[in-house]
Amino acid sequence: MVMTETPLRERLRKALPGAMKAKDRAAVSALRATLAALDNAEAVAPAEDQLRGQAIEEAAVGAGATEVARQVLSDDDVVRIVRAEADEREQAAAEYRGLGRDDRAEQLLAEALVLRGHLA
């Protein structure tokens, strides 16, 4: 029997309640922000004709009338986004450290470490 690895996004979602229960601020912050980044990456840009105003009688009516299917991220897309989130935190930490904000730098590095741990 072949065991398949749990997808990264699912591992991140499953890790969030445990981090909240453990009151691990760095993990909660990193996981929430990264899951939001993944959700944002699935958003579909509105069509050009949707950006213009329209007459009230032309407006869509009813629940879900303006909904569109979200993009589906591949496993590689998810890994790329999580890696980018970790990279951004590490870069920001270096900038904060240069400004003498070691406390904020340590927080960001802890968040990056959480994300890198899920990539391993």
Tokens matching residue 27: 């993990």
Question: pLDDT tens digits, residue range 105-118?
Answer: 999 999 999 999 99
CATH assignment at residue 84: 1.10.1510.10
> Number of folded domains in the chain?
1
In a domain, 50, yes or no: no
Q: What percent of the chain has pLDDT over 70?
A: 78
Question: pLDDT tens digits, residue range 46-97?
Answer: 666 555 556 656 666 656 555 667 788 899 999 999 999 999 999 999 999 9
In a domain, 29, yes or no: yes
Residue-range definition of the domain harbouring residue 80:
8-42+72-119
Check residues 119 and 2 and name the one with the higher pLDDT: 119
In a domain, 52, yes or no: no
Residues 6+ apart with CB under 8 A from 105: 93, 94, 96, 97
Q: What is the dihedral of CA 106, 112, 118, 120, to 10 degrees?
A: -100
In a domain, 55, yes or no: no
